[in-house]
Structure 1
Amino acid sequence: MASAVSSLLMPSDDVNTAITEFARRFNHSYYQPLQLAILKGDWKSTKAFLDNDPTALTAKVTIHGRTALHVAAVGAQWKLVEKLVQHQHMPANMLAELDLMGCTCLHYVAMGESVNTAKALVAKKPSLTQVTDLKGFTPLIYSITSRRCKEMIWYFVLNTTDESPSCPFSGPSANQLVALLTGAGFHDITMYLLHRYPNLATISDSNGSSIILNVLSKLPSHFQSGQNLGLLFAIILRSILLKHEYGNIMWTATYTLLPGLKQAIDMKLRHVYAVILTEFVISRASTMNSNDYPFWQSFVSPEIIFSATSSGIVEILETCFQFFPDLVWTHIPNEGNVIQIAIKNRQEKVFRFLCKMPIICQLLVLAIDESNNTASHLAARFTSKIESTSGEALQMIRELQWFQEIEKLDDPLHKQVKNNDDKTASQVFMKEHKPLIEEGKKWIKDRSNSCMVVATLIATITFAAAITVPGGNNQDKGTPIFLPNHKFGVFMWSNAVAFFSSLTSLLVFIANMNGYYTEEEFVIVLPQRLVIGLNFLFVAVVTTMVAFIGALSLFLEDRFKNFTTIIWSLASIPFLISVMLLLPSTTVELLYKKLYDPKKGSI
């Protein structure tokens, strides 16, 4: 894809030579005022120059051999382009004039966002969409390269035919067309073209590998499995289905209020069409030369399987294995089989997908690579490609959980197998994760210190509140004055719970500070201690808030109307916020799984 873009934009040596030769005899000073007026969008000065010298309308006015039309298009002066096109002395054949870069005015217009300007040019010369540059590229390819305006691409797709001599959909430039269009993510446009020109579906490179699949396998963000979406985003994407039920009026207003929603919808549609495109291409390949084994083996090349696996694109792998089951045994030199690649790159979704084929998965896991590494050796390596966590200790937990999960599937005898570095899987794990373990311990102490400060502060406040109760004590009996009031009971009980909860939390975090953490503790003991300490601290904070409300109610409820309703409403705000912040790791994940339909691969 990158080579397609560079071949489109980079001038050749012949072009550079032609520009140098033309510049030697070009009268730059004469045409400079016209060029500057056009680039400024100054139609009055431009018209005055052309009226004074009508030949300037068709002359080359820059050292790159560009006409006034070219200059206006390159400068994105769309209104001025349209006025030049409509000029009474502008001949239609001048619209097809090439500059020294080999482009017509329409090639440059295609890279902009003004569809009306393109329509004005084509209206005066309908065959302009078929004119190619020096490398055989039509304006359609230029519009895709820009990626700025999808409407512009659609316009050229609908107004470009596969006629000679350009033949953009069957000629030499078809390779660049599908590569650029797929890379740009306009998969709905690609599907339209594949239905119109089926030959594009199975177009391949010099090695016989599918160009479309090659590009898609390197674009994980174009697939659902390549992105991790939160609950809120999942709900937004699910609401896309309502668009067809309530019409476009509501959604137009919603787009205005929430600009990011349109991008979310575009992303969802890109995910859907990427899967459709993948299935269409592979299904077309399965119907061609179905008995010719080398055909599909090269069409879905090992590079495609490797890219899809290492990028975590489950949809491509699932479709490939559905139509060509033997591809699951693909082996890439120095990389291994699909499950070894997934393990090395921490692609958990790919690994879970392969585990749905238990026998195949077990056979692939038992394989040993060229360096005598078992699956456990590969899982033992440290990688920064795992999902981001909130701390080194939690990252260490994820690392160890991943290693232990793979180790369970691996042959027990492989625990003693040494690789070419003379190390077992456990030794590799300890060596590569030693720095992370130290960072994890430091992270635990830092977080424990922070939480201990909060727990100590709550314990101090609640202790002081217990001995200096609201309203004071009876001088004769020493009992609190507000003791008969039920609100005083709420204050005392919540204050007591806050006090003991904060002390419990404090003790748990002290244990974290002084503990020695083995591998097992990183997975079992540490998470339990963190959860227990944070839960008790959360209870202490909430009950401190309740105690505060109870104390205020004793003094102010009789003086202010609706005081209780107002104060509880205010208190609910931090509580709801804290609940929302705590949900994502548990409830949100469960809700998201209910929203996501794995069979359909969409929300």
Structure 2
Amino acid sequence: MESAESCRLSVVAESAEEFNYKYYQPLHLAILKGDWKSTKAFLDDNPSALTAKITKFDQTALHVAALGSQWKLVEKLVQLMPANMVTKLDSYNFTCLHYVAFGKSVDAAKALVAKNSSVTQVGDHRGRTPLCYSVTSTRCKEMTWYLVLNTPDDRSARPISVLDLDSLLWAGYYDIVMYILQHYPNTVDSDNNMLYTMSRLPSHFQSGHNFGFWKRCIYQCVPAELEYGNTIWNALQTLVPSLKLVRDAKLRHVYAVRLVEFFCSQTSTENDRKFWESPVAASMICIAASFGIVEILSICFRSFPDLVWSHNRNEGYVAEIAINNRQEKVFSLLCKMPTICKMQVLGIRPPPDYDVRHTSAYEAAKLATKIESIPGAAFQMQRELQWFKVVEKIENSDMKDFRVDGKSPWQLFQEEHKELFEEGKKWMQDTSNSCMLVATLIATIAFAAAITVPGGNNQDKGIPIFLSDSTFMVFVVSDALALFSSMTSLLMFLAILNARFAQEDFLVALPQKLIIGLTFLFLAIATTMLAFAAALSMLVQDRLKWAQIPIGLLTSVPVALFEILQIPLLLGMMISTYGSRISYE
């Protein structure tokens, strides 16, 4: 290793003697500054400098421009260069395109390829082409795509290696990986290592990507076309930058699934027993289960059914891993195979490995090391209860009363979740107190507005002056709904404060009261603002007939804010309480 480095330094030293550093220094500095006027003037006075080595590392003006990220100068210099100079190597055995591949200027790469198309096939001392370095840097997907499409399969150079593909997988460029595997079938020796890498990337799959409420809605609307250059979506992405993030995520998810299907299809066609019987495959399944990547599991189980019995010594079978890591999608997938699921949950193993301490009821009773990101400790407690109840349902009835260290699974659950229970109780009480204050204010305002109606009453009959006005009926109905909704909300929050707060109550009773309270509170806010808008419109409609529009817009602002800030939380509560996916049939 030292001798090779010594040789390289000697070559550099010899090369340094072949040019006058001070002579080329003005050109070098002008290029690094991006000063084309000074660069062009120097080259006009010294035409030989265009192809000369101007650094001690045998780099030409073209190399220096690329190293300095002066992409416009690269495009201009390449027009003046002879075609053979584009493939010129410096002392690092890099062409200019190697350096361009580290950057983001596809235009500079196009200019170099247009001058000499063979430059994409020139490798360094290890045979690595510019495509390899573009993959490794993963800074610009457009650059990588361009080099992939313009690098022929030249056996004298190595277009891409297994490590390069691994870098592409970590970057999420699954469409590029698919293209490479289809056009360079001998690139990899086996697919299981790539599947192992993908099993560690949950955010690259839909099951592991946690979008917010509105982004989930956009995600469903974004088309799954995988072609780049779609004019409509490119225009929309320019206007709404966040749309590009959602679209890119969906395209990545779609191609990730296609790539897993491609791997499994190829391996299944070749009847590769080494893959699905190898420890790597079993480890890949267990890792995917722990991260909740249900797409990998479902595809692999269809192609290799025996993989469903994959397990490791620490966490057990796939069902047990799903329970320990609270991966409900994986558990739901296994519930479609009820017999297998029940055997795994019961921890049925050969006698030497059997230990009742490892049964799933006791594992589900322990506090999860990774609690799902549910808003509020109360709903985290609810999720833990749901997990315990479904596992307890699968367990044999005689196991429910079994004791380990004198504790039943339920007693262990209560002990493990004591701190979370106290946090959930405090969260529920604090939320109820805050909402009660708002509900009380709305109820007070609504009651006062019902007594002192807009415009007053007729002195003789006591009938409201605006009784015949249709807007008055809007006011009356809205005010009545506001009073009814706020009082209902107030009673629900009061019931929460007076509740007994047992751990079992967090499963349905307490969340249900909070959902009802928040729903009626939202209705109370909306109807209060509608009543206010109707009252104000009646008072100014004779003088300002156009005032109804701005009044309506302004009064809708608080309602919209509440909807944006609280509706996602409320929907999450409803889904967690009434639409739980944790089930076993």
One of 72, 84, 87 as aligned partner of 1:92: 84
Report deviation, 1:262. 3.5
Query: SS of the residue aligned with 2:465?
Result: coil
Alignment of 1:447 with 2:431, yes or no, is yes
Q: Structure 1 pair 348/15, CA: closer, same or farther in 2 (3 Å)?
A: farther
Alignment of 1:41 with 2:34, yes or no, is yes
One of 287, 298, 303 as aligned partner of 1:318: 298
The CA distance in 2 between the partners of 1:303 and 1:379, in whole Å, is 22
1:18-29 alignment runs, 5 A limit: 26=16
Alignment of 1:181 with 2:168, yes or no, is yes
Report deviation, 1:239. 4.4
Asked if 1 retains the 8 angstrom alpha-carbon contact of 2:541 and 2:547, the reply is yes
The CA distance in 2 between the partners of 1:550 and 1:86, in whole Å, is 72
The CA distance in 2 between the partners of 1:221 and 1:521, in whole Å, is 34
The CA distance in 2 between the partners of 1:51 and 1:471, in whole Å, is 88
Residue-by-residue CA offset, 1:97-151 (whole Å, 9 max, x unaligned) = 1333x42222111222333433443444443322222333211111212323333
The CA distance in 2 between the partners of 1:557 and 1:73, in whole Å, is 70
Query: SS of the residue aligned with 1:112?
Result: coil
1:264-343 alignment runs, 5 A limit: 264-288=246-270, 290=271, 293-298=273-278, 301-343=281-323
Asked if 2 retains the 8 angstrom alpha-carbon contact of 1:98 and 1:133, the reply is no
One of 341, 366, 374 as aligned partner of 2:359: 374
Alignment of 1:151 with 2:142, yes or no, is yes
Q: Structure 1 pair 29/310, CA: closer, same or farther in 2 (3 Å)?
A: farther
Alignment of 1:389 with 2:365, yes or no, is no
Query: SS of the residue aligned with 1:372?
Result: helix
Report deviation, 1:566. 6.8
The CA distance in 1 between the partners of 2:253 and 2:111, in whole Å, is 35
Structure 2 residue aligned with 1:541: 525
Q: Structure 1 pair 51/482, CA: closer, same or farther in 2 (3 Å)?
A: closer
The CA distance in 2 between the partners of 1:131 and 1:565, in whole Å, is 68
CA RMSD of aligned residues (A): 3.8
Asked if 1 retains the 8 angstrom alpha-carbon contact of 2:457 and 2:464, the reply is yes
The CA distance in 2 between the partners of 1:51 and 1:17, in whole Å, is 38
Q: Structure 1 pair 165/416, CA: closer, same or farther in 2 (3 Å)?
A: farther
- Aligned-residue sequence identity (percent) comes to 52
Q: Structure 1 pair 377/60, CA: closer, same or farther in 2 (3 Å)?
A: farther
One of 487, 491, 498 as aligned partner of 2:482: 498
The CA distance in 1 between the partners of 2:34 and 2:424, in whole Å, is 61
Q: Structure 1 pair 57/511, CA: closer, same or farther in 2 (3 Å)?
A: same
Structure 1 residue aligned with 2:387: 402
1:186-197 alignment runs, 5 A limit: 186-197=173-184
Report deviation, 1:58. 5.2
Asked if 1 retains the 8 angstrom alpha-carbon contact of 2:325 and 2:369, the reply is no
What TM-score, normalized by structure 1, do the two folds share?
A: 0.81
Asked if 2 retains the 8 angstrom alpha-carbon contact of 1:455 and 1:537, the reply is yes
Asked if 1 retains the 8 angstrom alpha-carbon contact of 2:224 and 2:250, the reply is no
One of 167, 172, 189 as aligned partner of 1:203: 189
Structure 1 residue aligned with 2:153: 162
One of 465, 472, 487 as aligned partner of 1:482: 465
The CA distance in 2 between the partners of 1:590 and 1:199, in whole Å, is 51
Residue-by-residue CA offset, 1:401-429 (whole Å, 9 max, x unaligned) = 2222222223333334456x775433443
Q: Structure 1 pair 463/199, CA: closer, same or farther in 2 (3 Å)?
A: same
The CA distance in 2 between the partners of 1:50 and 1:319, in whole Å, is 61
Report deviation, 1:324. 0.8
Q: Structure 1 pair 165/455, CA: closer, same or farther in 2 (3 Å)?
A: same
The CA distance in 1 between the partners of 2:8 and 2:31, in whole Å, is 21
The CA distance in 2 between the partners of 1:84 and 1:329, in whole Å, is 62
- Matched residues, number: 564
What TM-score, normalized by structure 2, do the two folds share?
A: 0.83
Amino acid at match of 1:283: S
Report deviation, 1:573. 5.9
Asked if 2 retains the 8 angstrom alpha-carbon contact of 1:22 and 1:65, the reply is no
Structure 2 residue aligned with 1:215: 197
Amino acid at match of 2:173: F
Query: SS of the residue aligned with 1:198?
Result: coil
The CA distance in 2 between the partners of 1:235 and 1:538, in whole Å, is 22
1:87-166 alignment runs, 5 A limit: 87=80, 92=84, 95-100=87-92, 102-166=93-157
